[in-house]
Structure 1
Amino acid sequence: MDITWSNFKKQLPVVCQAIAEADFLAIDGEFSGISDGPSFTTLTNSLDTPEERYEKLKAHSMEFLLFQFGLCTFKYDDVKAKYIIKSFNFYIFPRPFNRNSPDKKFVCQSSSIDFLANQGFDFNKVFRDGIPYLNQEEERLLRDQQEEKRYHTNGASTTCYMYISPDASRAPVVPVIPDDQKDFIDKIVYQRKLIYQTMNWKFPRGTHVETVESPNNERRMIITKVDEDERKNKEIQKKVKEQEDLNNAVGFSRVIQAISSSSKLVVGHNMMLDIMHTIHQFYCQLPNDLEEFKSLTNCVFPRVLDTKLMASTQPFKAIISHTVLAELEKRLQMPPFNPPKVESAEGFPSYDTAVGQLHEAGYDAYITGLCFITMADYLGSFLSPPQTHVSVQSDVISPFFNKLFLMRITDIPYLNLDGPDCK
């Protein structure tokens, strides 16, 4: 199911329900580039330590944009003995939602854009109808601005304050204003204060004042004569509208928040960059320290599993030659593997692996989940008695939890999110 800004609000409850009902979630991302400096082969030196690899990826990859996010939810139906899937393909773009929203810059890598274009990627869906988003710090700042504006508009004080939490005290905001703009800002602030104070003094209960923005971005003040009940109703309506606008600006981050709060197993393929970009764009800036990154990842995604690492580990390593996602999916269709049955939920598109839609994030997420359950069930064949269906709670797959595959590192196969790395 393709989801853009035009249908995001309608489909968000459907997405959240699918996440809540799922046994596990598979994800995938498509990016505007991989490395802004050296080639990716050079960037991933075989002698890197985990710390060096993380520092390189953070320094050379985070200015690119994750602009398509695939999510496929898997729920096992005991009666039908098959997985029911719901796939979503989100188009994401950080369009400024209003004049207070961040106006972000990002980098494109020509080879990546050319590759996606040749795969039929629809860039119009990204740039024209992509879903906006804010990370947690940006959301907090916008909430602070709303509270500051509301507090000042109500005439409670000539001092600006920011909202921290319902139980916290108010603290003065100290804005950073360029020196060459201070006189201009001081004049505007003075005029605004003068208007509101005059209105509150002359008409303490008889008017409602608000600032509105026209379609061509011109701002004007509207003063309406109202009685006390009307004034209160307008204030309530205004507050509801402001909250709705803020929720709209948070946008796709609400999906990531739903995934995080569900604590469900999140499965990806070679998912180091997927994890890093997701946290960087939709939660907060990545820390410099690797151990802090591990702790942060555990908070956002308590359980993750990397199918590339799984396929590169015994007993799979001995019978799987190529772990690129497309090749892995083909190999897992053949003995000794026996792919479980899957079925798309009603109202969701079905994927045909014989045709393939690789490099569409929703399809790649589906293939990733399919590879995971096929390998998990294969491990079940070694149990006594053998199990044809292995659940995500099974101890047989727990050794693969919270380990991220590290490409082209000779002696250290994975990043251990739960403890010290291999030496």
Structure 2
Amino acid sequence: MRLAREMEVTRKNFEESLEIVTKAIEEASFITIDGEFTGLNVSGSSHTGPLDTPEERYHKLLEGSTDFLLIQVGICAFIYDGSAKRYTAKPFNFYVFPRPYTRHAPDRRFLCQCSSLDFLVSQGFDFNKLFREGISYLSPPEEKRMREEIEQRHQQHQMSFYSPGLTSPDGGEQTVPKGPIAIPEEHSEFINNICCKVEDFLTNSEDETLELMPCTAFQRKLLYQTLGTKFPQEIHLQSKSGEKNQRFLVVTRVKGEGDIKKKEDQKQQEDFAELDRAVGFTKVMKVISQSGKLVVGHNMLLDLIHLLGHFFYPLPESYEEFKLMARCIFPRLLDTKLMANTQPFKEKILMSGLSDLKKTVEQEPFCKSDVVIPEGFGHHYMETEQLHEAAYDAFITGLCFISMANYLGKFQDPPAGILPPASPLLEPFVNKLFMMRLIDIPYMDLTGPDLKPTRDHVFHVTFPATWRTSDLFQLFSPFGNIHITWLDDVSSFVSLAKKEAADSVLKTLCKKGTPYRITTYDEFKRRGKEKNGRLTSSGHSVSKKRPSSSEDVDIPSKKQKQKSLNVNAAPFQSKLTPTNTPEKADPESAAREEESMSTAEEEQGKGDTGTSSEVDKAEKMFEVPETWE
């Protein structure tokens, strides 16, 4: 079968394409994924900041991003051909839109962010196709609830054979038996006319069915009651929707109670089949989850949050529960942006946006990945750049991963030209997600406690509303360069470049009678936790009068040419002591946690290939230092 527009999947061809998609996932060596959203952050929600902890970042995204829709999902299955020593890529582009398939189905409300929609339009996103042809979906809890409602509704309908008027077979809520409803005078003529029409149908017509005129839910309830009493063993009634979603009743000629029961059983099976179709795109995500394959993304924290929340279960308030949920659903995740920003890639990759990363890993010291796309699976992706089309972004994410993985193969003994996804050299990157704009915590660890670097050099400062950046520079000038993170008009975090000067700040600046107040970062956090019951980045709202956290101010220094995100280590075995406490803002994509990493022997047990010496090399190469600069 050839997919419409090659790899594009909508509700028109989803059912026939599902087998192809499932087969590609089952054959895949690894899978890449990418998403597009109706927005990134809610106005008034907490801004992400460079001093967030991973837990704080999760709660901020939970608060500010989950009311948007995930409207396009790109999935690319990379299948390794051992004989040809190259990968075959099969990308699929899914438009997803959660339209309610019946009146009883979830009818979602969602937010849109104008700038995000405008950006997608500028990239050629087809919103008409989204709303007309987007694939529906139901999460497992929603599917379970709908299935229970179908069973309950049909159970009630069977009761109505013997006690008309007890329930609404049309699908109303469960009601307490009250006996027949008195027909209001204004509806009596309508009901009588329908009764005459049905009687004529039974007497003079040879047709098997009779469609009645559209009517209100209350009128349908009266008809179920009246016709069920008047023709108890002669007809079966079923409510249907017309082209314009107008509801009407269909009268079917039956022979006795057994025939009625047969019709009801048939209708129930039809309802279950309709529910199965409404599960929609969730089926694809279930296949990926059940496969246990390595799932690769680029700056994928926000993608992961949306995938879990839309297609699996409601996101938990607890950060630890979120990490457990993520590991259960996707056992192996890998973030290419994290790879690009840590050793041994950090010094070789100056820009880690997806498009720039692709260009970089196609040149020395990397090797361009050898990948082919078969006919019918988006072959034009090989020649044409289509950034921000989810399937294309997923495809080039895979290209970047292959090139970086193969580069690591050089450190294997003997060197490997193609490094398999199960290699121990890749294992330390698994289940660690890149943290955008964090100064000293490079990743969120889904498998254990997060890193907790010392922040003794960070101070919370309050001051008069008239103060500006220059006033803070002047106040801290005796202590060298500083980094300012504005919280609101009267407070900020100040980080010292010279960490050893922290004690001097407290001794020199903490005086009575000053217009400012300086508190250590740890003390400020402790007070915030006592006040709010949960650790938060700050109790302040972001003011338009000050730069937001994404516009932090640095005093110029000689190291200006270095990358703004200063992560000097890869996500490998840490010498720092983590505590038990428990974004998708790529310049290009505009948006995109039992113990620390185990010993080398444990790492070797996680992979299918490689030797102890290979793991030792990985450990030595990617050690996390005691200090973060």
TM-score (normalised: structure 1): 0.87
Q: Counterpart of 2:60?
A: 56
Letter in 2 for 1:340: S
Residues 97 and 409 (structure 1), Cα distance of their counterparts in 2 relative to 1, 3 Å cut? same
Q: 1:88 aligns with which of 81, 86, 92?
A: 92
1:237 aligns to 2:266 (yes or no): yes
CA distance in 2, matches of 1:288, 1:67: 24
> Is 1:275 aligned to residue 304 of structure 2?
yes
Per mean C-alpha deviation after superposition, the further-off stretch among 123-132 and 66-75 is 123-132
Q: Secondary structure at the match of 2:379?
A: coil
| The one of 412, 421, 425 aligned to 1:383 | 412
How far is the alpha carbon of 1:354 from its aligned partner? Answer: 5.5
State the shift of 1:125 in Å. Answer: 1.2
Does residue 1:304 correspond to 2:344, yes or no?
A: no
Q: Match for residue 349 of structure 1? A: 378
Correspondence for 2:248? 220
CA distance in 2, matches of 1:38, 1:337: 43
1:330 — aligned with what?
359
Matches within 5 A, 1:193-272: 194=225, 198=229, 203=232, 206-227=234-255, 230-231=259-260, 233-272=262-301
Q: CA 1:212–1:58 in 2, change beyond 3 Å: closer, same or farther? A: same
Instruction: Say whether the 8 Å CA contact 1:295–1:417 is kept in structure 2.
Output: yes
Go from structure 1 to structure 2 and tell me whether the alpha carbon gap of 1:238 and 1:49 turns closer, same or farther (over 3 Å shift): same
Q: CA deviation at 1:58?
A: 0.8
- The verdict on how the C-alpha distance between 1:214 and 1:189 changes in structure 2, with shifts beyond 3 A counting, is closer
Q: CA deviation at 1:343?
A: 0.9
SS at match of 1:415: strand
The aligned counterpart of 1:113 is 117
Correspondences of 1:2-81 after superposition (within 5 Å) = 2-37=8-43, 43-81=47-85
CA distance in 1, matches of 2:407, 2:175: 60
Deviation at 1:145, TM superposition (A): 1.4
> Which position in structure 2 is the counterpart of 1:163?
none
Work out the number of aligned pairs and report it: 399
Q: How far is the alpha carbon of 1:218 from its aligned partner? A: 3.2
**Which structure has the higher relative contact order (CA within 8 Å, separation 6+)?**
1
TM-superposed deviation, 1:43: 2.2
Residue 167 of structure 1 is matched in structure 2 by: none
Shift of 1:36: 1.4
Q: State TM-score, norm by structure 2.
A: 0.60
- AA aligned opposite 2:100: P
Deviation string for 1:194-250 (max 9, x for gaps)?
A: 458747xx745x543322233333333434332366545533432332122112211
Contact 1:94 1:131 in 2 (8 A): yes
Q: Shift of the alpha carbon at 1:114?
A: 1.2
Distance 1:349 1:190 in 2: 51
Report which stretch shifted further, 134-143 or 265-274.
Answer: 134-143
Whether contact under 8 Å (1:155, 1:197) holds in the other structure is no
CA–CA distance in structure 2, aligned partners of residues 80 and 233 of structure 1: 57
Contact 2:30 2:294 in 1 (8 A): yes
Q: Give the whole-Å Cα distance in 1 for the aligned partners of 2:406 and 2:227.
A: 68
SS of the aligned residue for 2:295 comes to strand
CA deviations over 1:121-147 (Å, ceiling 9, x no partner):
111111221111112222122112111
Of 302, 307, 315, the match for 2:344: 315
1:116-155 equivalences under 5 Å are 116-155=120-159
* Superposed CA RMSD: 2.7
CA distance in 2, matches of 1:383, 1:153: 68
SS at match of 2:13: helix
Deviation at 1:292, TM superposition (A): 0.6
